[in-house]
Amino acid sequence: HDGIICTGETYKAAVKLTFAKGAALDDPSNLFNSSLEGNVRRALDIREGDQLDEEAFKSLIREAALLNTSSKMKRRKSTKP
Number of folded domains that form the chain: 1
Angle at 36 between CA 3 and CA 55, to 5 degrees: 65
Residue 66 is assigned to a structural domain of this protein: yes
Residue 11 is assigned to a structural domain of this protein: yes
Residue 1 is assigned to a structural domain of this protein: no
Within 8 A by CB and 6+ apart from 27, the residues are 42, 60
Name residues of the chain where pLDDT drops below 70: 1, 71-81
Q: In this predicted structure, what is the pLDDT of residue 70?
A: 86
Give pTM, 2 decimals. Answer: 0.82
Q: In this predicted structure, what is the pLDDT of residue 51?
A: 96
